[in-house]
Structures are given as C-alpha cells and as structure tokens.
Amino acid sequence: MDPTSQIIVALDCDSRAAADALVEQLGDECRVYKVGLELLTAAGPDVIKDLVARGKEVFLDLKLFEIPHSVAGAVRAAGALGVSMITVHGMGGSGIMSAAVEAAREFPGMRVLTLTVVTSMSDADLTDIGVGDTVDEQVLRLARLAQKAGCHGVIASPQDVAVLRRALGPDALIITPGVTLSGESPADHARPGTPHAAITAGASRVVVGRTVTRAANPVTAFRVVRASLTP
C-alpha cells in the first residue's frame, strides 16, 4: 500500500472549524481521516459528508457497543454517509459483531473493524473490570472472535500487531492507534509504538493524532510520519 494511504489522521477536534482548518492545511497530503465521538458530537454527520465529498476516506471510530439491532442501525447510517470503516467493541461479543457485518453488506465499500483492548488499558485495568486474562490474551481472544464473526479486521496497539498478523493471516486489516514518533510522549497510550515499527510488524494502517494535529506545521509533520514508514 502507498505509505500516504497507510496514515489515518485523527480529527480529535472539539469543533467543526478546527477540523476544517486542519483538513484544509493538509490538503492533498492526507487521504484518510478518523472521526470519533468528540467531533461527531460537536459537528454532527455533515462533517463526514463533507470529507467524503472531498474524496477522503472516513474511519468512523465509535466503538459501537449496544444491542445488535441498534448497532446494525448505526452501521447502516454510517454506510449511507459514505463511511469507509467503522468500529464495534469486541467486548460486546459475537452478536453485535455479526449484526454489524450483516448491516455492512448493503455497503460493499465499508469495512467493519473490531476494537480489541483500547491502547490506554493495562493488565491492571482489565483486572479492575473482572477480566482475569492479560491484555495480550484478551486482544488475541477478541481478534479471533471478530474474525469468526466475519469482521474485516481489528483495532489494536502497535505492540499487538505481530501476534495478530500471525493469528489472523495476511488479508485481515489491522489498524493501530497509539503510534508516536521516537522521542514523543505516548500521552494516554499504555502500549505505544512508532509508525515504522507498527507497519514493519504487519499493521495495515496507523492512526496518528497529536504528532500531526498539534504540530506547528501539520504538513511537515505528516511528511515526517510518511517518510518513517519506508525502509
């Protein structure tokens, strides 16, 4: 895959104006954007429509975790907006994953991805909610469950990629948030890694946030990330 298409820039903005300004700055450099709960709540679905109209791919990261009927409805609504990828939460089980996959069949270009364990969580966090397995064990269990349900891939930390690629095979999409360049703070991520390490381990795409969005020059920062993906 072209390195440019391997980079998803997270539009974790608190307003439509801030998101529009970043997209305008990046111009043709960036082809894929992540829209999450913050921006969708602040700006509504029109932000997705406008990104699609500009020829951008949209990764709608809502981590859907509801009854299967509601998840299916949300997936269909996302498909109607032109979303390319949407996330469901693996902890919701096979029922919601299967419902999402079935709903997505109406939109052949949309991929359903399952969140395994969020990159901010550690073994201790899983213990707090009554999960006795380690993060590594839980990630692998949910990834296999997602594959069995027909999901197109998973969301996992850079540190999980190598094991997941071996377990899921060459065709699964593996998208990694929690990537930062060498020397940068990992912020909220407990299991970070560099973009280069993630892609080398077998990630399909990486999600980049503050590295680009809070840079003095987002275009220059994006180019640095892109250059880091090539040998």
Task: Give Dmax over CA atoms of the chain in angstroms.
Answer: 46
Tokens for 59, please give them.
Answer: 């990764």
Positions marked catalytic: 63
> Within a 13 Å sphere around the CA of 30, how many CA atoms are in the beta-carbon half?
32
The Cα 125–Cα 135 span in angstroms is 9
Helix (H, G, I), strand (E, B) or coil at 206: strand
Tokens for 113, please give them.
Answer: 């991805």
The Cα 71–Cα 65 span in angstroms is 7
Going by C-alpha positions, the residue among 38, 223, 122, 225 that lies closest to residue 139 is: 122
Going by C-alpha positions, the residue among 131, 118, 125, 83 that lies closest to residue 104 is: 83
Report phi then psi at 51, rounded to 5.
Answer: -65, -45
